[in-house]
Structure 1
Amino acid sequence: MTPYKLGKRVLQMISAAIILLPISYTHAFEVGINMHVRHYPNSGDYYLKLAKDYGFTSIREDYPWSQVEGPVGKYSLIGNLGKVDSVFSRSQSNFGMSSMLVLAYTNPLYDKNGYPSSEAAIDAFANYAYWTAKRFKGKVKYYEVWNEWLVGTGVRGNKKPPSEEVFFELVKKTALAVKKADPDAIVMTGSLNPLKDKDNAWLDKLLDMGLMQYVDGISVHPYSYRNPDLEMRKPEGNLAGIDVFEKKLQAKVGRTVPIYITEMGFPTHIGDGGISGDLAAQNVIKYTLLAKSRDYIKGIWWYDLIDDGSNPNNREHRFGFVAQNLVAKPAAANLQKIASIASNYQIVNYKQSENGDNIVVLKKGNERATVTWSNRPIKTEGGVINKLKSFSLSKPQPDKVIPLLIQGDTPVNIDSSTPVLKMSNQP
């Protein structure tokens, strides 16, 4: 998941301009979370409540092919899939949260447990998708066809991806099967990194084949925590890169294409790309609001709910919003404070000035919320870096910083990278 460098000239043009979006958005923006319920010790309801309590509106989880079909043509809940099945059955009705079901991964019954490439395997995959969508009709809102095809996630056999024609056929038949079972389902595919040249070239070929005739949107995983361009590691630079991607996508298709950020995260491991828990919390707040300010982005599903391991040096073990002992990390505790605003308020305005000040204005009825922060670079002996301050609710920050979350008539100071929230019943 190493993104390429966005052309600096393009990024500079974007960041130097004043970005102004004076539009009131009406679409429901999802603030979701990825879960691995199959590997968690407690019941599915326990983790649904946990996600709900932190303010997430949606969950994303795998529903692997190999745990549905076996033997050939027979469908059931194999192994520990029952826990996942319960989550998809109950998330909306019992917790008021939508869900995204990932149709993916290999099955040892077909193509030597590798990518489904043969006609028989693709047809079988579509049949599994139909059975699944029919089972969850009216319960699951979103379906994502495969997960990170290009990097071989979940592939047990040969990990070399087959041709674009194979993937197109798989998506086409699967999407038609899901829509047949549940016409109201929202189907997406891609799970590519829009900041990588290789991923963009792959998508271009799929679009030329007519991909958008069969899916409702494109899913992206814009990880950039190891990008050699440090600006691209920040929320502002990352979203600017997605803006470039979206403009190319719109020009290619001839219309606005809904984009779903189905995975994004900032790991807190010790090592290259790892950041502090406080900085991760800063980034999560900023990124969530910046994504919401783009009308073409329909939601973000953060990766992930709970740390996947206990090794502090392993980045894959440190993406969680909650530690393995279920203690909330700063990202969870602070997202909880603005979750209602991110989900229920509408963007009125977003401005990014030439000197790096960011101002996001939201409203709900007569209530207003303004979130501000600075992304101004400072000079050091090694060059120019961004000022990074801790994101804290319990301790006042230096330099007269007002940390999120603050209410009342206190003056807002935007000369800080710490996000500041101002609530008011006046415009």
Structure 2
Amino acid sequence: MSLLRIGRGSLLLLSCLISTYVTAADSFIVGVATHSMNNVNQPLRSLELASLAGVTSVRDDGFWSTAEPAPNQLQIIPPWRAWLAKANALNQAPMVILGYGTSFNGNAKPRTPEVKIPYLKYVDYLTRQLGNPVKYYEVWNEWDIEGPTDSRLSRDYVAIVKEAAPIIRKNNPQAKVLAGAVTSTGIKGGFVDRLLTAGIMNYADGISLHPYVHCEGRDHNTPESWINWMRDLDRRFTGLAHKPVPLYLTEMSWPSHEGNCGIDTTRQAAYLARAWFLARTVPSIKGIWWYDLINDGNKRDDQEHNFGLLNVDLSPKPAYSVLKAISPYLKDFEYDASASLQSDGLYKLVFSDGRERIIVAWATGRTREDQVVSHAMNNAPLRVLDTQMASKGMVTSEQRWSCTGDRCTASVSLNEFPKIIRLSPGA
């Protein structure tokens, strides 16, 4: 049908559909890393728990060594298809990592023709076989780890992305190609800078980072110091690329273990809430994938066993309950910098989705009393979600707004757990 013959009502409907699609496509990504694609001991039921917590993307490994256990013997194992089908059914925008070596090439990176040719064949096979359900492909994982300051290593990584990206796009035009998966050490060693200078954004849709700070020491391992680092990186990367660089934090979290660099499960939950809301203040950050969904073991003193949102038996840790409570406010709410405050350990971040307006407020260090301001609340009760009691959700407080004319204020007690306070009447 000619567009000129479409009626006004149909044009309005088309406009709404396009608007809805764009909004959904641009929603902030609430992701988690999983190990259930390759580990039968992590049941796919865990993806349902992730979905209940508001997770919109899951990330896992499409191991080259699994896809090609012997030269030229390519396969897709049933657990991969099961993981992909489950994630897709839950609208969890799967991300698959294309990486790691194989035993028959000495687990070498594809830096020479002898390794690069079979790697690209694996990329072609896997992206054709997995098809449209995959929404993101990450080219390798933590390539930088063996030489964060090695310019030859970064040069060879750009070369493999340049060759892999067209293959991925040919087989999966709907998927985004992410490059980097760079560690904190690599970020500090200039690895991302060299990728950008070499023009990697000509081939990739975004840069993926693993900017852990849990071992940075006191005053440098908090969400607030972390976001300052992210802002500095964002400015630097924009300058190097001569345009904003989409940043995908495909691994990020704080482990809740007993020992060096660890925090308890309560603080892990508080850090999760603060980090995710702070990330929404940086437009270049498109999403965070919390590492990871399930603890990898039961040893309380083992860091690698304690990154998860869930325990090994799938019981929720406090961080899971917090994510479940805050995720509706992360995806489609936009940050209002002009109405927000970040100063002297006090954070009052204002967000709106066009219908509802909220302030997310907390204080680092000591607990303190502070005021929040709104308009036209008509002395109504405060509606508050205290992430320290996340399972209660948004509740009606006994406290009321105090209004003089159109201006309304309320005094709130702030600590390290963010409080989400509704600023809009009747929402």
Measured in 2, the distance between the counterparts of 1:333 and 1:264 equals: 18
Q: CA deviation at 1:163?
A: 2.6
* Residues 46, 314 of structure 2: 8 Å contact kept: no
Q: What's 1:91 paired with? A: 87
Measured in 1, the distance between the counterparts of 2:291 and 2:58 equals: 10
Measured in 2, the distance between the counterparts of 1:197 and 1:30 equals: 24
Measured in 1, the distance between the counterparts of 2:182 and 2:334 equals: 28
Measured in 2, the distance between the counterparts of 1:163 and 1:109 equals: 22
Judged with a 3 Å threshold, the aligned counterparts in structure 2 of structure 1 residues 269 and 130 are, in CA distance, closer, same or farther, namely same
Q: CA deviation at 1:200?
A: 4.2
The alignment status of 1:39 with 2:39, answered yes or no, reads yes
Q: CA deviation at 1:85?
A: 2.7
Q: What's 2:280 paired with? A: 292
Measured in 2, the distance between the counterparts of 1:146 and 1:283 equals: 28
Mapping 1:259-270, distance limit 5 Å:
259-270=247-258
One-letter identity of the residue aligned with 2:90: F
Q: What's 2:203 paired with? A: 214
Residues paired across the two proteins, number: 372
Q: What's 1:422 paired with? A: 421
Q: CA deviation at 1:71?
A: 3.1
Judged with a 3 Å threshold, the aligned counterparts in structure 2 of structure 1 residues 414 and 234 are, in CA distance, closer, same or farther, namely farther
* Residues 255, 307 of structure 2: 8 Å contact kept: yes
Q: What's 2:130 paired with? A: 136
Q: CA deviation at 1:347?
A: 2.6
Measured in 2, the distance between the counterparts of 1:283 and 1:337 equals: 14
Judged with a 3 Å threshold, the aligned counterparts in structure 2 of structure 1 residues 347 and 205 are, in CA distance, closer, same or farther, namely closer
Measured in 2, the distance between the counterparts of 1:412 and 1:95 equals: 41
Q: What's 1:100 paired with? A: 95
Classify the secondary structure of the residue corresponding to 2:219.
Answer: helix
Which segments of 5 or more consecutive residues in structure 2 lack a partner in the other structure? 1-22, 368-385, 400-409
* Residues 286, 419 of structure 1: 8 Å contact kept: yes
Mapping 1:161-180, distance limit 5 Å:
163-180=153-170
Q: CA deviation at 1:199?
A: 4.4
* Residues 349, 360 of structure 2: 8 Å contact kept: yes
Measured in 2, the distance between the counterparts of 1:25 and 1:371 equals: 23
* Residues 89, 136 of structure 1: 8 Å contact kept: no
* Residues 115, 162 of structure 1: 8 Å contact kept: no
The alignment status of 1:223 with 2:212, answered yes or no, reads yes
* Residues 404, 421 of structure 1: 8 Å contact kept: no
Q: CA deviation at 1:361?
A: 1.8
Which of these residues, 335, 341, 358, is aligned with residue 369 of structure 1?
358
Classify the secondary structure of the residue corresponding to 1:233.
Answer: coil
Measured in 2, the distance between the counterparts of 1:104 and 1:248 equals: 28
1:224-261 Cα shifts (integer Å, max 9, x gaps): 11103x22211111011011111111101100000000
Classify the secondary structure of the residue corresponding to 1:207.
Answer: helix
The alignment status of 1:343 with 2:331, answered yes or no, reads yes
* Residues 234, 283 of structure 1: 8 Å contact kept: yes
Measured in 1, the distance between the counterparts of 2:417 and 2:254 equals: 17
Measured in 2, the distance between the counterparts of 1:239 and 1:176 equals: 33
* Residues 27, 331 of structure 2: 8 Å contact kept: yes
* Residues 341, 348 of structure 2: 8 Å contact kept: yes
Which segments of 5 or more consecutive residues in structure 1 lack a partner in the other structure? 1-23, 154-159, 379-389, 396-402
Q: CA deviation at 1:136?
A: 2.8
258-267 vs 124-133, which deviates more? 124-133
Which of these residues, 367, 389, 396, is aligned with residue 393 of structure 1?
389
Judged with a 3 Å threshold, the aligned counterparts in structure 2 of structure 1 residues 197 and 40 are, in CA distance, closer, same or farther, namely closer
Which of these residues, 238, 241, 252, is aligned with residue 253 of structure 1?
241
* Residues 322, 390 of structure 2: 8 Å contact kept: no
The alignment status of 1:127 with 2:121, answered yes or no, reads yes
Measured in 1, the distance between the counterparts of 2:390 and 2:420 equals: 15
* Residues 150, 161 of structure 1: 8 Å contact kept: no
Q: CA deviation at 1:174?
A: 1.4
Q: What's 1:312 paired with? A: 300
Measured in 2, the distance between the counterparts of 1:65 and 1:353 equals: 45
Q: CA deviation at 1:40?
A: 4.0
Classify the secondary structure of the residue corresponding to 2:26.
Answer: coil
Measured in 2, the distance between the counterparts of 1:247 and 1:343 equals: 23
Q: What's 2:402 paired with? A: none
Q: Higher relative CO (CA 8 A, sep ≥ 6), structure 1 or 2? A: 1
- Larger proportion of strand: 2
* Residues 138, 178 of structure 2: 8 Å contact kept: yes
Measured in 2, the distance between the counterparts of 1:86 and 1:274 equals: 34
One-letter identity of the residue aligned with 1:285: A
Judged with a 3 Å threshold, the aligned counterparts in structure 2 of structure 1 residues 320 and 42 are, in CA distance, closer, same or farther, namely closer
Q: CA deviation at 1:317?
A: 0.4
Structure with max Cα Rg:
2
One-letter identity of the residue aligned with 2:279: A
Identity of aligned residues (%): 26
Q: TM-score, normalised by structure 2?
A: 0.80
Measured in 2, the distance between the counterparts of 1:25 and 1:412 equals: 36
Measured in 2, the distance between the counterparts of 1:392 and 1:198 equals: 33
Measured in 1, the distance between the counterparts of 2:68 and 2:390 equals: 51
Judged with a 3 Å threshold, the aligned counterparts in structure 2 of structure 1 residues 364 and 165 are, in CA distance, closer, same or farther, namely closer
Measured in 2, the distance between the counterparts of 1:311 and 1:40 equals: 20
Measured in 1, the distance between the counterparts of 2:193 and 2:180 equals: 11
The alignment status of 1:323 with 2:311, answered yes or no, reads yes
Q: TM-score, normalised by structure 1?
A: 0.80
Mapping 1:400-419, distance limit 5 Å:
405-408=394-397, 410=399, 411=410, 413-419=412-418
1:314-346 Cα shifts (integer Å, max 9, x gaps): 100000110112110000011111111112333
Classify the secondary structure of the residue corresponding to 1:393.
Answer: helix
